[in-house]
């Protein structure tokens, strides 16, 4: 029902929607393809994995890459040393790799300090994290802010290891370097910005968060050449420290952010979840709730809580930005979460496409919302004389279109936006926006601030 596309429109009118370019049926496959490209890369909060990820995105969008030196103070935090992993394995007595990070980037605890040692199994086991209750899966673990090292593996595999000595190698450097993030700005008519951001620090986890990176990069790509009301700032940064670093470096520009979304986990088969901004009633909160109500009835809209992804930073009390968070299944609630089961089979093109359409529909609301003012406010205008009843004759959607006209005309007192009207009418925003535009073309409404009316 909802228009799944960024609108290409006069900002005062709120009705011209970009034709099918963004509503491509292939969108799901393309998104899955991007995620597949990014999946094998061994990302962490710093280092070559993030750089390689961002380089891949540069094939699509003119991403600006920022490098922030280790040791830079960012609010209460410090940019950490950079972690470079070259290899990590455990070899058995026969020299066979029984754990090999080249097979799955989850095998090494992220940010492990370098090690080269020979250990008996008993000692080795103390360095290995498994999931006894999901014995076939490799867990994902990090040790970002405490120096340590370790491996992750399937519990079943661990049980198969015979006694004996093992050669342990983590060929890594933890040294001064930099933290890397990528930024892309699509300029709209206004300098007011919509911030769209996702974390890029997780290794081979498809839903969390190759899916989010894919969605935002495709959206950024497809916005190129589209004229928009808002400017769109896309941020691809490592979780927590990346967002904090970006906020510290852009504090003077934050007032431009009028709306924002943190995206993650947008490819699984669960019902969509929108988590409101800390404010709870920001325009993005209303737009997302509206779009989900009409486009995904099983979706959940939940209140802000100070845990999750980088909305924690954007919604810290010193900023309190109007930034919500969109995901499908809630993080931490599905068994594949932070395990090797979060692989490319776990995310599906149709779910990715669905997420893409919901996000673009919400952006469409933000882009198109406007306040209509009736030019015939006293009694209803005579629609029949203008062919506005005839126009819809024989049309199965005619009653709904007629009601949309009556709603817009009745509510167009300059105090209700199109979204307000859509909410009161219980109709999709796009139906109301299209109707308002049609009524404007018939000279029956103008838009507040629309000099061209």
Which residues bind to a second copy, rule: CB under 8 A? 74-77, 145-146, 240, 243-244, 247-248, 251, 278, 305-307, 312-313, 315-320, 374, 376-382, 384-385, 403, 406-407, 409-413, 425
State the minimum distance, in angstroms, from the CB of residue 377 to a second copy: 3
Beta carbon nearer to a second copy, 120 or 426:
426
State the minimum distance, in angstroms, from the CB of residue 94 to a second copy: 38
Give yes or no for a contact between 448 and 436, defined as CB atoms under 8 angstroms apart. no
State the minimum distance, in angstroms, from the CB of residue 384 to a second copy: 5
Structure tokens at 324: 């919500």
State the minimum distance, in angstroms, from the CB of residue 67 to a second copy: 20
Beta carbon nearer to a second copy, 229 or 416:
416
| CA separation for the pair 436, 353 (Å, rounded) | 28
State the minimum distance, in angstroms, from the CB of residue 227 to a second copy: 31
Beta carbon nearer to a second copy, 67 or 380:
380
Structure tokens at 354: 């669905």
Structure tokens at 203: 């290794």
Beta carbon nearer to a second copy, 107 or 294:
294
| CA separation for the pair 108, 138 (Å, rounded) | 10
CA angle 101, 102, 107 (to 5 degrees): 20
In the block, tokens 């290409």 appear at 8
Structure tokens at 392: 């819809």
The phi and psi torsions of 98 (rounded to 5 degrees) equal -90, -20
- Residue 14, helix vs strand vs coil: coil
Give yes or no for a contact between 440 and 15, defined as CB atoms under 8 angstroms apart. yes
State the minimum distance, in angstroms, from the CB of residue 379 to a second copy: 5
Beta carbon nearer to a second copy, 73 or 452:
73
Helix (H) or strand (E) holding 232: strand 231-237
Which residues make Cβ contacts (< 8 Å) with residue 128, sequence separation at least 6? 99, 150, 151, 152, 153, 158
The phi and psi torsions of 51 (rounded to 5 degrees) equal -60, -45
Beta carbon nearer to a second copy, 311 or 364:
311
Give yes or no for a contact between 439 and 386, defined as CB atoms under 8 angstroms apart. no
Q: How far apart are the first and last CA of the chain?
A: 28
Beta carbon nearer to a second copy, 135 or 306:
306
Beta carbon nearer to a second copy, 76 or 160:
76
Beta carbon nearer to a second copy, 34 or 179:
179
State the minimum distance, in angstroms, from the CB of residue 328 to a second copy: 23
Read out DSSP for 182-219? EEEEE--SSS-EEEEEEE----S-IIIIIIHHHHHHHH
State the minimum distance, in angstroms, from the CB of residue 84 to a second copy: 22
State the minimum distance, in angstroms, from the CB of residue 299 to a second copy: 22
| CA separation for the pair 69, 217 (Å, rounded) | 25
């Amino acid at each position: 029902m909802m228009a799944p596309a960024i609108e290409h429109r006069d900002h005062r009118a709120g009705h011209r929607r970009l034709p099918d370019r963004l509503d491509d049926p292939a969108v799901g496959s393309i998104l899955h393809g991007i995620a597949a490209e990014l999946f094998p890369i061994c990302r962490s909060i710093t280092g070559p994995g993030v750089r390689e990820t961002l380089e891949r995105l540069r094939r699509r969008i003119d991403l600006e890459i920022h490098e922030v030196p280790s040791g830079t103070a960012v609010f209460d935090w410090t940019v950490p040393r950079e972690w470079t992993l070259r290899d990590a394995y455990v070899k058995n007595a026969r020299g066979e790799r029984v754990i090999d990070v080249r097979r799955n980037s989850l095998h090494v605890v992220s940010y492990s300090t370098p090690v080269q040692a020979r250990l008996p199994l008993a000692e080795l086991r103390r360095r290995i994290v498994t999931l006894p209750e999901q014995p076939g899966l490799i867990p994902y673990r990090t040790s970002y802010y405490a120096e340590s090292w370790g491996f992750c593996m399937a519990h079943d595999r661990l049980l198969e290891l015979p006694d004996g000595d093992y050669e342990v190698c983590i060929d890594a450097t933890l040294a001064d370097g930099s933290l890397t993030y990528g930024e892309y700005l699509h300029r709209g008519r206004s300098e007011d910005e919509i911030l769209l951001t996702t974390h890029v620090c997780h290794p081979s986890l498809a839903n969390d968060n190759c899916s989010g990176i894919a969605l935002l990069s495709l959206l950024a790509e497809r916005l190129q050449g589209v004229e928009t009301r808002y400017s769109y700032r896309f941020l691809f940064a490592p979780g927590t420290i990346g967002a904090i670093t970006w906020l510290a470096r852009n504090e003077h520009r934050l007032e431009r952010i009028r709306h924002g979304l943190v995206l993650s986990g947008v490819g699984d088969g669960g019902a969509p979840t929108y988590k409101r901004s800390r404010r709870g009633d920001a325009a993005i909160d209303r737009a997302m709730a509206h779009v989900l109500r009409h486009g995904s009835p099983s979706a959940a809209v939940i209140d802000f809580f100070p845990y999750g992804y980088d909305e924690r930073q954007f919604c810290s009390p010193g900023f309190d930005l109007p930034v919500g968070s969109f995901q499908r299944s809630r993080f931490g609630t599905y068994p594949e979460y932070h395990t090797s089961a979060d692989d490319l089979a776990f995310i599906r093109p149709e779910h990715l496409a669905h997420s893409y359409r919901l996000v673009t529909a919400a952006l469409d609301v933000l882009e198109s919302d406007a306040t209509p003012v009736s030019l015939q406010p006293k009694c209803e205008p005579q629609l029949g004389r203008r062919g506005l009843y005839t126009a819809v004759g024989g049309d199965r959607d005619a009653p709904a279109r007629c009601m949309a006209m009556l709603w817009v005309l009745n509510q167009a007192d300059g105090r209700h936006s199109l979204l307000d009207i859509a909410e009161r009418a219980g109709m999709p925003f796009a139906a109301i926006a299209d109707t308002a535009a049609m009524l404007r073309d018939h000279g029956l409404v103008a838009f507040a601030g629309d000099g061209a009316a």
